[in-house]
Amino acid sequence: MQFVSTRSKDICASGTKAVADSIACDGGLFVPLSLPVLDEEFLSGLAGLSFGERLKRILALFFDDIDVGAVVDEALVAAGEDELSLVKTEDGVYMLDLAEGATGRAEDISLTVFARLLAACREREGYDKRFFVAYAGGAEIGRTLLNAFGGVEKAAAMAFYPHNEDALNVRGALDATGKRARAIGVKGGNIAEKLRGCMYSEGLAEKAAEAGFDIIRANELNVGRILPCVAIFFSAYCDLVDSREIEAGEEINFALPALDLTLATAGCYARLMGLPIRTIVIACNANKAAAELVCEGKVQAKRALYLTSAHELDVLFPANMERIAYELCGRDVEQISAAMERLFEGRDFEIEQDRDCVAFDLLQAGWADEDEMREAAFNAFDIDDSVLDPVTAVTMSVFNDYCCETEDDTPTVVAQCVNPYVVARDTLAAIGTRESDPVKAAAKLETLTALECPDCIYRLKHDFAMNEQGLIPETWMEEAIVAFLKEAAQEK
């Protein structure tokens, strides 16, 4: 399969090249030139298979020159998740739990597969050096990244977390530290912006090369993070057919948190490949760039970042905004190039949506404020005896609004992307209980609800002997990376 840039159809690459290079030479994002439309025979062949086997078959459509089976088998062991739980709730929706893996986040699947896919694609393209990835932000996401890349032989990974981070999440990040994975706390302001500057520093690239590493920039924009997620939609659909909840060929809806729009992009690809999806509802909190894009075709450049209980939705510009816009405007590269240029200049991102394209009818979006999120979480707990983390509560609130406005009764799958225990304090607050200590919050959540504490949190909750790690100032981040790469270079 061939991939092209969102900003120029003249830039073309194979699947392995697109993943190995992360972004196109013009700064655009790689997208499939065209997607195969799968017939009934292919879809029926997925019936009764495990998620892992379905994932292999979907990925094989995009990559025919690497061992997809080995990539998937190794990744699912590291992810701690080889099946997806799909449960019908009392109000008739189907909850798809994507957060049952090693660190309690949906990225357990996408990142662990991506890490090994990246290694395989780089090897196929003849890139001999080892590679380095890094993340700066919440320690819980850092833990997921370290778990995903730490077991990849040719990879090294670092996660920087802020000095005021939740203690339980810090323990999780430190727990994921190994010979080729390191978590470090940072004193300073915008550590994500500081890391971005480091990763694009020529000086760091030269020092990394001396240690035998290539710097992988913009890994969050890599198409290799989206393609594994396409299989999630096919697998959920097949599970509904296998359990006789729907008939083969019957349309379903999905309700997804916006996050970085990885899932939304993957769902759009699944629909273009022939999966009977009627509507994808994208849920935002007060940071509603994704909703503005889908509903208006416009995203304001000058916008405030609102800090909410649904931290994962606190994003100014979702990473895959450009890919969603590309589909909404009918894959018009000139529109995307112009819109991105305006955004870089500090002007609003704006496209003219193509009413004839699949994405225009497929995608719906909305947003919920903190009160609406809490109402959805409390109702789920009080009426259905279910526990929703704030991100899923936002998703449910937006989905409920969509149903009220449209009276759409299509069977719907709601994606749960964060385990409530990973954000125990915020989950408790959403249902009206306060606890400032993260360890006590996890214990209280276990006492108040019938929800079992996952191993990834239970072990941390009871491990009070974990060594704390000193903080560094943000000005030392580049030096910390260089020192780590020199150490990692000694590991074979």
Check: CB of residue 468 under 8 Å from CB of residue 168.
no
**Are residues 200 and 284 both part of a single domain?**
no
Amino acid present at 78: A
Q: Tell me, what's the pLDDT at 164? A: 79
User: What's residue 253's pLDDT?
Assistant: 98
Q: Which residues contact 461 (CB under 8 A, 6 or more apart)?
A: 168, 439, 442, 443, 453
Residue range 379-403: average pLDDT? 94
Q: Is the pLDDT of residue 425 over 70?
A: yes
Cα–Cα distance measured from residue 249 to residue 262, given in angstroms and rounded to the nearest whole number: 25
What percentage of residues in the chain have a pLDDT greater than 70? Answer: 97
pLDDT-derived band at 78 (thresholds 50, 70, 90) equals: confident
- What is the rounded average pLDDT of the residues 294-302? 96
Q: Tell me what the mean pLDDT of segment 171-193 comes to.
A: 84
Looking at the fold, whether 389 and 243 belong to one and the same domain comes out as: yes
Cα 385 to Cα 89: distance, rounded to the nearest angstrom: 10
Overall average pLDDT of the 389-409 stretch = 97
- Cβ distance 324 to 261 under 8 Å? yes
Under the banding of pLDDT at 50, 70 and 90, the label for residue 461 is low
Instruction: Answer yes or no: do 444 and 475 share one domain.
Output: no
Helix axes 390-406, 370-384, angle to 10 degrees: 90
pLDDT value of residue 269: 98
Per-residue pLDDT tens digits for 221-245: 999 999 999 999 999 999 999 999 9
Interval 249-292: pLDDT, tens:
999 999 999 999 999 999 999 999 999 999 999 999 999 999 99
Q: What is the DSSP code string of 373-401?
A: HHHHHHHHHHHH-----HHHHHHHHHHHH
Residue 175 has what pLDDT?
75
- Sorted by sequence, the CB contacts under 8 Å of residue 409 that are 6+ apart come out as 403
Claim to verify: residue 263 and residue 388 sit in the same structural domain? yes
Residue (of 284, 259, 434) closest to 369 by Cα position: 284
The mean pLDDT of 306-310, rounded to a whole number, is 93
- 3-state class (DSSP) for residue 286: coil
Q: Specify the pLDDT at position 465.
A: 43
Average confidence score pLDDT of the chain: 92
- The highest-confidence range among 196-200, 226-230, 464-468, by mean pLDDT, is 226-230
* Residue 164 belongs to domain with CATH number: 3.40.50.1100
Check if the beta carbon of residue 223 is closer than 8 Å to that of residue 18: yes
Helix (H) and strand (E) counts in the chain: 21, 16
Whether the pLDDT of residue 466 is over 50: the answer is no
One domain for residues 125 and 255: no
Contact 1, 15 (CB under 8 A): yes
Residue 190 domain boundaries: 109-221+468-489
Structural contact between residues 145 and 177, judged by C-beta atoms closer than 8 angstroms = no
- One domain, residues 170 and 318: no
Regarding whether 398 and 264 lie in a shared domain, the answer is: yes
Classify residue 59: in a domain, yes or no: yes
Q: Cα–Cα distance between 3 and 64 in angstroms, integer?
A: 14
Identify whether 29 is part of a domain: no
Mean pLDDT confidence for 90-103: 88
Number of domains the chain is built from: 3
Tell me whether residue 296 is in a domain. yes
Choose among 269, 253, 259, 332: nearest CA to 6: 332
Contact 237, 130 (CB under 8 A): no
Q: How far is it, in rounded angstroms, from Cα 192 to Cα 52?
A: 33
User: Do 316 and 253 belong together in one domain?
Assistant: yes
205-209, 282-286, 447-451: segment of lowest average pLDDT: 447-451
Q: Are residues 432 and 411 in the same domain?
A: no
User: Is the model's pLDDT at 467 over the cut of 50?
Assistant: no
- Say if residue 42's pLDDT is above 80: yes
**98 and 138 fall within a common domain:** no
Which helix H or strand E contains 463, and what residues bound it?
Answer: none
pTM equals 0.94
Determine the Cα angle at 12 with ends 11 and 17, to 5°: 120
Spell out the residues 6+ positions from residue 485 whose beta carbon is closer than 8 angstroms to its own.
132, 156, 207, 208, 211, 213
Tell whether 80 and 151 lie within a shared domain: no
The CA distance from 157 to 179, in Å, is 10
* 281 and 271 belong to one structural domain: yes
Please count the other Cβ atoms lying within 10 Å of the Cβ belonging to residue 296: 13
**Order of strands across the sheet that contains 30-32:** 8-14, 2-5, 30-32
pLDDT, greater one: 204 or 384:
204
Three-class secondary structure of residue 412 per DSSP: strand
Within 10 angstroms of residue 141's Cβ, the number of other Cβ atoms is 22
CA gap 403, 364 in Å, rounded: 11
The answer to whether position 11 is within a domain reads no
Does residue 246 lie within any of the structural domains?
yes
Secondary structure of residue 86 in the 3-state scheme? strand
Structural domain contains residue 44: yes
- In the predicted model, is pLDDT for residue 464 greater than 70? no
